[in-house]
Structure 1
Amino acid sequence: MLKHRLYTLHILIGAAVLLAACSMPAKRQAEDLQDSHRFKNEVLLGYTPVKDQGRSPLCWAYSMLATIETEHIMLGDSVNLSVDYVARNLLVEQARRHFLSGGKTKMTMRGTMPLLLRLLNEYGAMPYDSYNNPKLNYTTLAKRMATLSNGSPNMSILEERANRVLDDHIGALPPHVFMLGAEYTPQEFAHSVCMRNEYMAMTSFTHHPFDEMSVLEIPDNYSNEPFYNVPIDVLMNRIERSIKAGHPVCWEGDVSEPGFSFKRGVAVLDNEQPCTQWQRQWAFEARRTTDDHCMALIGLARDKHGRRFYIAKNSWGTNNPYGGLMYLSENYVRMKTIAVVVKNM
């Protein structure tokens, strides 16, 4: 009982401090940074061309593939991976689940970063140039798959119909992957670019024990992917250490804050003060920190005042001051991170 009261007291104090910190409007803070946008990049890892996910909810796939691509670039390898191949396999998988559940399982193209790793391991991968159709509306395709599921008498007919529709909309699947004169199956190619257990998903919330794996209760984690839970100081240290060692980090977090501006290419808090573990927890439980978007963290920078920023590769096209990259303040990352995926080092 005493422990519960202390926890409640910490949450209330954290809430009061967090609300008191909202004195400077985020818009003004972002404008101040825009005036001074003289970032000095300390680390900038290599990256493939910035893509545009359009209206699709596939940021988790774009960001995790971008992380794998940068990892290979830093090893001297050139890999550019197909989001459409992953999305196609997810659609067929979800159509099966929808059919077997009698229509009770929702068709969705949303997901989390570890889901991408599972899909690669199970279905393989394709190079971007071999299989891509950037103009697709995946929300409409998901609805079409649900309709096919409802009208199919068995799973074999469902998969036959689904593949025919996907061939028409995305394109027929190449039977093999050709890279540098070698021929691979999609599974062989996937295992050559991303080995099993090469990455670890991490988070930082107090409603689960630290230093243990737990399923993170966010809406898009419908596949119940586990995350390793650590204190926020440990998580921030791991992010910085990874980037400095040449390893990108896949980031999942809140982009609904007024201080997040793709147009300006920056993300800042209302008041640039570091949060505590309890403030993070309060914001998460109060739904002030929400699971909105994923990006690949590929660099470190400082502004003219010496404040730390993380450089993120976004998937909203290139129409901002940094060609599609974003500069996220250290305090923004500390407060607004839901989870990350890091290279096992």
Structure 2
Amino acid sequence: MKRILLSGAMILAAISGNAQKYEFQTVTDISCTPVVSQGQTGTCWSFSSTSFLEAEIIRTSGKKIDLSEMYNVRHTYPKKAWNYIMRQGNAQFGEGGLNHDVINSALDFGIVPQSAYSGLSNGQTSYNHSKMVQELETLVKANAKKPEADWQQKVAAILDANMGKDVTEFVYEGKTYTPKSFLAMTGLKLNDYVTVTSFTHRPFYSTFILDIPDNFAYGSFYNIPLDEFVKVVDDALAKGYTVALDADVSEKTFSGQTGVAVIPENDADAKAILTEIKPEKNVTQEFRQREFENFNTTDDHLMHIVGKLKDQKGNIYYKVKNSWGSNTANGGFIYMSLPYLKLKAISVMVNKDAIDGALRKKLEIN
């Protein structure tokens, strides 16, 4: 009997030993601005990309500047409306966007600090675009077949009423700027940013327009094999560059509550893996492609990679700054496993200088 009890105790000890709670250790941690909330809006694309630009300013100048996310949104909606109406309704119109939309907005209209344009109006203290989006959708759909002469002015009026009037001049730290001169002051080189992806339906080491609904601007992506895609992220972080991320967060194992994003090898582990180390899937290029083509991987949410961690077993995770506020696990950061990144990352935007020289040459990035 003693021997049997001892064996049972040993089994229980082994089980509890295998069920290890996550213990994370920092590998790389790059300075970034604090986590903020996008509120009840679909503007993660601007929060992700703006945070990325803020980190670039920190990297190059040491200055921490709180840039306005909503200034980019304010100048992107008219482009979306134009695209939808001029294509007579045969296009996407919604809140979503991609990293290059912020770069395009900044190139055209400059950037401003949060203090110059908050995007809040009518006494708001948090973002809620539900009413504004409904008004814009009603307007563009009504003009998709027979546009009124003043539809663009009506779009601007809706944006002004819900977000505040556009800003053309402002004072920051005692100096007067325009959005373009403020951009120049930051030293950002917007043409240095490139977007990279990894899919097999188009040739590797070429560029193509990725067919996802939010790519209303028909942005071009560099296409590379999956292992090189991961290397782009790792190389950037190792060199002190952060990475803007477009990913699928619809998985039950992407959790703001526990602060992890993981891909369990066994579906039965889907709940336990949120708090305990469990085996994860071996993600291949073929599996990634299949999940993209069957819509199990979709363009859901954009975030900002600012570091790397590892658990006590040596598994690698990426420190991802989210835009759901800081009152969640890890202060609003998600620890995303390598398998999750390989399977669910649609694309990343990086500074071209962070990319390995041989790959840059192969992609003909000057």
TM-score (norm 2): 0.79
Opposite residue 162 of structure 1, the aligned amino acid is: V
Aligned partner of 1:65 in structure 2 is 50
SS of aligned partner of 2:200: coil
User: Residue 158 of structure 1: which of 141, 151, 157 is its match?
Assistant: 151
SS of aligned partner of 1:46: coil
Shift of 1:306: 1.2
SS of aligned partner of 1:130: coil
C-alpha contact 1:127 1:177 (8 A) present in aligned 2: no
> How far, CA to CA, are the matches of 1:121 and 1:197 in structure 2?
9
Rg comparison, structure with higher value: 2
Aligned pairs for 1:168-207 (under 5 A) are 168-193=161-186, 194-207=188-201
Shift of 1:53: 1.2
SS of aligned partner of 2:340: helix
Give identity over the alignment, percent: 31
> In 2 relative to 1, CA 165–218 (structure 1 residues): closer, same or farther, beyond 3 Å?
closer
Could you tell me which runs of 5 or more consecutive residues in structure 2 were left unpaired when the two chains were aligned: 1-17, 266-279, 354-366
> In 2 relative to 1, CA 246–146 (structure 1 residues): closer, same or farther, beyond 3 Å?
same
> In 2 relative to 1, CA 328–86 (structure 1 residues): closer, same or farther, beyond 3 Å?
same
Shift of 1:89: 1.3
Tell me: higher relative CO, structure 1 or 2? Use CA pairs within 8 A at least 6 residues apart: 1
1:35-83 CA distance string (max 9 Å, x none): 6232111111112121111221111111011111112122302221111
TM-score (norm 1): 0.83
C-alpha contact 2:98 2:214 (8 A) present in aligned 1: yes
> In 2 relative to 1, CA 79–195 (structure 1 residues): closer, same or farther, beyond 3 Å?
same
After TM superposition, what 4+ stretches of structure 1 lie above 6 angstroms from structure 2?
none
Aligned partner of 2:94 in structure 1 is 108
> How far, CA to CA, are the matches of 2:236 and 2:166 in structure 1?
35
C-alpha contact 1:88 1:166 (8 A) present in aligned 2: yes
Aligned partner of 1:84 in structure 2 is 70
1:107-150 CA distance string (max 9 Å, x none): 31211111221111112211112211263433431331344453
C-alpha contact 1:87 1:109 (8 A) present in aligned 2: no
> How far, CA to CA, are the matches of 1:127 and 1:303 in structure 2?
37
SS of aligned partner of 1:74: helix
Bigger mean CA deviation after superposition, 299-308 or 134-143: 134-143
The two structures, once aligned, show a CA RMSD in angstroms of 2.2
Shift of 1:231: 0.6
> How far, CA to CA, are the matches of 1:124 and 1:145 in structure 2?
24
Shift of 1:97: 3.8
> In 2 relative to 1, CA 100–338 (structure 1 residues): closer, same or farther, beyond 3 Å?
closer
C-alpha contact 2:38 2:127 (8 A) present in aligned 1: no
> How far, CA to CA, are the matches of 1:320 and 1:98 in structure 2?
37
SS of aligned partner of 1:173: coil
> How far, CA to CA, are the matches of 1:61 and 1:153 in structure 2?
29
> How far, CA to CA, are the matches of 2:100 and 2:70 in structure 1?
17
> In 2 relative to 1, CA 184–110 (structure 1 residues): closer, same or farther, beyond 3 Å?
same
Aligned partner of 1:222 in structure 2 is 216
